[in-house]
Amino acid sequence: MNFIKKLISRRVLSVLDFGAQTVTVLCVEKRDDGSVRVLGGGEAPSRGVGPEGIVLLGDAVESVVDAVAKAQRSAGVRIDTLYFNLEDILLQGSASCGSACLVGEGEINSRAVNEARQMAERRVANFYERIVYAVDTGYLIDQKDPVENPVGVFGQQLDVSVYFLLARAELCDAWKKIMERAGLAKSVPVVSAWSTAYGVLPKGDRRRRRVIVDFGDDLTTTLVFKNGGIQGLRIRATAADRSEAGKNLAADVKELMASPEATEQILVAGDRASDEEALKRIKENFSAPVFVAAAVGIPKFDQPRLASLVGLVGVAEELEKKAPLLRREKGLLGDVKEKAMEFVQEYF
């Protein structure tokens, strides 16, 4: 019985990062103590994807297939669910607000919060874009009283402010086709900026306000991260000229730091995180301390260029916790796990 319980409780996560040069797949096991054990991984040259998006869908499929096959052999698992980093040079940030009117005694519950969120979502939703990220940024009771958590508070009206990231619908559909043609039963897109933030910030240190930069070979993403979520973002193609790339990066940081709130740190990760020209530009223009950010969370995977891949594991874990146990990766013993779970639940 202990063997069966251990089998069905095993948490294996598989993640993919489609970089400018290399496609990387990593399979890890999350232990009960919160640590991560790397089971294996695979790499393949990245083909078919450019800074603007999908160039040759067939080539992109081949790159994914190669990397996934190598990871499965290395880790000894079958990848059924794959979380992957989604990048879009036209990714748009949009702030919106929704409201819910309270009835009865006026006590706010989770249903009222969700109703207000849905209204905020309807205000930004459109046919050409898909919402790929959303985070609550504020709650207001009766249009005057801000609260940190509205559930259980009494009032007549709840306003919820939400920050959304929207990617091109055609790009999302293209990535869905790539994953389907690669033979993956389930793929989950995760906006890469979210992964990068989780990759450079430990779980217990995601409340303070930081500006985070993913300085990649193809794209440069600059974001504000505060209270556990993204609250501002800029993305552009990385200039080939180092001086121009540094100038653009400093301009994006300056725009995001225009807020009156103090920024405690500027963290730089990605392929070009150690670019002295870019770091010099930032340090000359801003008083906040600037650091090259190592990836945190997986031993021996601490290089700044791996921040987005490592952080994707953290995002995947968070999303898995919101899903039923049996949605997790089944592998070759999927049917056995399901039957074992049914048996345990019925008799124990």
Q: Identity (one letter) of the amino acid at 131? A: I
Cα separation, 153 vs 108, whole angstroms: 6
CATH number at residue 275: 3.30.420.40
Q: Is the pLDDT of residue 224 over 50?
A: yes
Cα separation, 25 vs 67, whole angstroms: 6
Total domains in the chain come to 2
Cα separation, 148 vs 170, whole angstroms: 37
Range of the domain at 250: 2-89+170-326
Antiparallel, parallel or unpaired: β 186-191 and 36-45 = unpaired
Question: 294 and 213, same structural domain?
Answer: yes
Question: 261 and 163, same structural domain?
Answer: no
Question: 277 and 194, same structural domain?
Answer: yes
Report the DSSP beta bridge partners of residue 45. 22
339 pLDDT band, cuts 50/70/90, is very low
Question: 195 and 218, same structural domain?
Answer: yes
Q: Is the pTM of the predicted complex or chain greater than 0.75?
A: yes
Question: 174 and 113, same structural domain?
Answer: no
Report the DSSP beta bridge partners of residue 234. 222
Q: Is the pLDDT of residue 3 over 90?
A: no
Structure tokens at 100: 């819910």
> According to the model, what pLDDT value does residue 7 have?
40
Question: 26 and 114, same structural domain?
Answer: no
Among the candidates 169, 204, 236, a domain finishes at 169
Question: 76 and 213, same structural domain?
Answer: yes
Cα separation, 325 vs 291, whole angstroms: 39
Cα separation, 36 vs 39, whole angstroms: 9
Exposure b/e, 156-183, CB count within 10 A at least 16 = b? ebbbbbbbbbbbbeebbeebeebbeebe
For residue 272, being part of any structural domain is answered with yes
Contacts of range 115-121, beta carbons closer than 8 Å, 24 or more positions apart: 116/158, 116/159, 116/160, 117/160, 117/162, 120/96, 120/160, 120/161, 120/162, 120/164, 121/96, 121/162, 121/164
Name which of 247, 302, 243, 294 is nearest 267 in CA terms. Answer: 294
CATH number at residue 149: 3.30.1490.110
Residue 100 neighbours by CB under 8 Å, 6+ apart: 112, 113, 115, 116, 119, 157, 158, 160
For the stretch 56-72, pLDDT in tens is 999 999 999 999 999 99
Secondary structure class of 126 (helix, strand, coil): strand
Among the candidates 147, 169, 191, a domain finishes at 169
For the stretch 73-123, pLDDT in tens is 999 999 989 999 999 999 999 999 999 998 877 899 999 999 999 999 999
Cα separation, 338 vs 347, whole angstroms: 14
Secondary structure class of 174 (helix, strand, coil): helix
Is pLDDT larger for residue 135 or for residue 242?
Answer: 135
Q: Is the pLDDT of residue 9 over 60?
A: no
For residue 342, being part of any structural domain is answered with no
8 pLDDT band, cuts 50/70/90, is very low
For 269, the enclosing helix (H) or strand (E) is strand 265-269
For residue 211, being part of any structural domain is answered with yes
Q: Is the pLDDT of residue 4 over 70?
A: no
Cα separation, 77 vs 180, whole angstroms: 19
> According to the model, what pLDDT value does residue 329 have?
40
For residue 30, being part of any structural domain is answered with yes
Residue 178 dihedral angles phi and psi, to the nearest 5°: -60, -50
For residue 14, being part of any structural domain is answered with yes
Q: Is the pLDDT of residue 256 over 70?
A: yes
Report the greatest alpha carbon distance in the chain: 67
For residue 348, being part of any structural domain is answered with no
Q: Is the pLDDT of residue 6 over 80?
A: no
308 pLDDT band, cuts 50/70/90, is very high
Among the candidates 111, 140, 169, a domain finishes at 169
> According to the model, what pLDDT value does residue 277 have?
86
Question: 250 and 139, same structural domain?
Answer: no
Structure tokens at 75: 């880790």
Q: Is the pLDDT of residue 346 over 70?
A: no
Average pLDDT over the chain reads 88
Q: Is the pLDDT of residue 44 over 90?
A: yes
For residue 333, being part of any structural domain is answered with no
Question: 53 and 17, same structural domain?
Answer: yes
Question: 298 and 248, same structural domain?
Answer: yes
Question: 204 and 160, same structural domain?
Answer: no
For residue 346, being part of any structural domain is answered with no
Q: What is the DSSP letter of 294?
A: P
- DSSP secondary structure string for all residues of 304-329: GGGHHHHHHHHHHHHHHHTS-GGGS-
Question: 151 and 68, same structural domain?
Answer: no
